[in-house]
Chains A and B, each alone.
Chain A
Amino acid sequence: MIEVKNLTKRFGKQLVFENLNFKINDGDFISLIGPNGSGKTTLVKIMMGLEKKTSGELKIDKQTIGYVPQFRNIDLDYPLDIEQFVRLNLKFTLSPKKRCEDNEQIKTILEKTKLTEIKKRPLGLASGGEKQKAYLAQSLLNDPRILILDESTASLDVEVKMQLMDLVKELNEKYNLTVIFITHDYELTKKYTSRALFFKNKTIEEVNVSDVSEDMFEMRG
């Protein structure tokens, strides 16, 4: 569970948001929506401990977060294949038993994310959707209980977006994984998420998923 009370963040004198109050329960599939610059990514960075809060309370277990970032520098010449890219997130071990467990874990995650058949493909040559699946697979290592997707569907075409979201939904339902989905896509929000937190006027309010509309992404934060 994640519990936020009166959370405020400033960069110097500039206020990003203030007095955020909300709760996220285990197994929620929640969308974090709002215009560009409203503080969505800053909020999740605070959750992961990559940014410091200015004031307020945040109760969360940081060890259990898997994060799929918005941007990654993977060009055509990127050398590692998909499996090796996923393996980067494994901890170092000399124990043969742990190595076996790691290999088993990689196998399971590649199956879960439907990457087994293309695991030897260099990531630089993979399609946008395959890359996103690889990022997702890597973030699922070490068994996170919370998964944060930061606009992971932004550069994908409609069909691939749906495939990726179907996969995330499956993981959410099957393993009771909490999903926080930062998005600018109101159709995906309506179709997949069960709750929506809307950044408005430097704070956050919960809105009905069915009431989420396109104009919520256009106002300035």
Chain B
Amino acid sequence: MFGYEFMREAFIASTFIAITAGLVGVFVVSRNMSFLSHTLSEIGFAGASFGILIGISPLAGMIIFTLVSSIAVGSLSTESSRREASISAISSLFIGLGILFLSLSSESSSYATNILFGSIVGISSKEVNQLMILALFVIFVFIIFYKPLAFDSFDHIGARAAGLKTRLLSIAFLITLALSVSIGAQIVGSLLVFVLLTLPGATAKYVVHTVPKLIMVSVGLSLSGVWLGLYLAFVTNWPVTFFISVFEVIAYFLGLSYKNWKLNH
């Protein structure tokens, strides 16, 4: 399998994607932002279409769109009760734009399929390098902001009471989330990147009870999912996203069952 260059590239890229998504996912789940990460994926699709239309790379288009929209959502919704409505409004606009850009561009529909559902053959070594740099940037931001971000994510009210600048943290987090969506979409596709950004983090919280362990389990599940997915996709020629989704969903339900079992014993 590793005799093929595209598979080597896909493995390297997926490894970085999985580490980033697993790490960010713990905070997505604890900040109740699963809906936003799903929406950002759709916005990423619009960004990629925009990139194709104006002749820049789809990844650059995705980054621009997800960054702008995540900061817009962050500024529009200081109150969580308003957040879902602002997210819906912004995502509707961007999905509409995505469809428009794609219909205006001359690329074939298979390109759109790649953006939406992901592809393991579409990654060039130049793109792998870009992904690695972005992933390392996200990880670096997390190391810098780890303590206050964990406080704000796992106890927002306590963090505000302790005088943390929660608004600033929220924007820093949204930027890393936007980047993670753009990175993750390259392999699993923009429609299903939220699988990696939510399920491993959600599963971890049923199994372990400290922030470092949550991160370890989430990253572990995310990595196992993409590695296994890539291998099975290579062997069967079925879509990699299918295998990743099935693996993460099974892990989620096993995690949930473990928690329920533990409660009764």
Which one of A5-13, A19-27, A66-74, A209-217 is at the interface?
A: A66-74
Q: Which residues of A contact B263 (CB under 8 A)?
A: 125
Bound CA–CA A122/B74 (angstroms): 30
Q: Taking beta carbons and an 8 Å cutoff, which residues of A are in contact with B?
A: 48-50, 62, 67, 69, 71-73, 77, 79-81, 84-85, 88-92, 120, 122, 125, 135, 138-139
Instruction: Give the residues in chain B near A62, CB-CB below 8 Å.
Output: 163
Check B157 against A72 for contact (C-beta < 8 Å): yes
Further contacts, 16 of them, CB under 8 A, given A79-B204, A139-B161: A48-B163, A49-B163, A50-B163, A62-B163, A69-B157, A69-B161, A71-B157, A72-B158, A79-B206, A79-B208, A80-B210, A84-B210, A88-B158, A89-B158, A138-B155, A139-B158
Interface contact A80-B158, CB-CB below 8 Å: no
* Interface: B265 (CB within 8 A): no
Residues of B within 8 A of A67 (CB): 161-162
Asked if B158 contacts A77 (CB within 8 A), the reply is: no
Q: B interface vs A, CB < 8 Å?
A: 30, 146-148, 150-151, 154-163, 204-206, 208-211, 214, 259, 263
Inter-chain contact B147/A92, CB cutoff 8 Å: yes
Give the nearest-CB partner of A92 in chain B: B147
Indicate which residue in B156, B159, B214 contacts A79 across the interface (CB closer than 8 Å).
B214
On whether the beta carbons of A122 and B161 are closer than 8 Å, the reply is no
Which residues of the other chain, B, contact A85 by a CB distance below 8 angstroms? 154-155
Within the complex, the shortest CB–CB distance from B218 to chain A, in Å, comes to 11
Known A-B contacts A79-B208, A92-B146; the reply to A73 vs B157 at CB < 8 A is yes
A79-B155 contact in complex given A50-B160, A84-B209, C-beta closer than 8 Å = no
| Cross-chain contact B160 with A91 (CB below 8 angstroms) | no
> DSSP majority for the B interface?
helix
The CA-CA distance from A69 to B158 in the complex, in Å, is 7
- Which chain B residues lie closer than 8 Å to A73 at the CB level? 156-157
Number of A-B pairs whose CB atoms are under 8 Å? 62
B209 touches A79 (CB 8 A): yes
Closest residue to B153 on the A side, CB-wise? A88
The smallest C-beta distance from A28 to any residue of chain B, in angstroms, reads: 21
B158: chain A residues within 8 A (beta carbon): 69, 72, 88-89, 135, 138-139
Residues of A within 8 A of B151 (CB): 88-89
Closest to A85 in B: B155
B205 and A79 contacting across the interface, CB-CB below 8 Å:
yes
A91 touches B157 (CB 8 A): no
Q: Is the interface of A mostly helix, strand, loop or mixed?
A: loop
* Smallest CB separation, A93 vs chain B (Å): 9
Complex Cα distance A62/B161, Å? 11
- Check B205 against A88 for contact (C-beta < 8 Å): no
Task: List 7 A-B residue pairs with CB atoms under 8 Å apart, sorted by A's residue number.
Answer: A48-B163, A73-B156, A80-B210, A81-B210, A88-B154, A91-B147, A138-B158
> How far apart sit A72 and B155, CA to CA, in the bound complex (Å)?
8
In the complex, what distance in Å separates the CA atom of A54 from the CA atom of B70?
Answer: 33
Chain B residues with CB under 8 Å of A84's CB are: 209-211
Say yes or no: A122 contacts B150, CB within 8 Å: no
Distance in angstroms from A92 CB to nearest chain B CB is 4
The 9 A-B residue pairs with the shortest CB-CB distance in the complex, in nearest-first order? A79-B205, A92-B147, A67-B161, A81-B209, A88-B151, A84-B210, A69-B157, A72-B157, A122-B209
Nearest-CB distance from B245 to chain A (Å)? 22
**Cα of A85 to Cα of B159 in the assembled complex, Å:** 11
- Across the interface, do A80 and B154 meet the contact criterion of CB distance under 8 Å? yes
Q: Inside 8 A of B162's CB, which chain A residues have their CB? A: 67, 89
With a cutoff of 8 Å between Cβ atoms, the chain A residues found around residue B211 in the complex are 80, 84
Measured between beta carbons, the chain A residues less than 8 angstroms from B163 are 48-50, 62
Chain A residues within an 8 Å CB radius of B160: 50
Q: Chain A's nearest CB lies how many Å from the CB of B126?
A: 36
CB distance from B121 to the nearest CB of A (A): 38
Write the chain B residue with the least CB distance to A74. B155
- Cα A163 to Cα B209 in complex, Å, equals 27
Tell me the smallest distance from the CB of A147 to a CB of chain B, in Å.
Answer: 12
Closest chain B residue, CB of each to CB of A123 = B209
> B201 to nearest A CB, angstroms?
10
List the A side residues contacting B206 at CB < 8 Å.
Answer: 77, 79
Contacts of A135 in B (CB 8 A): 158
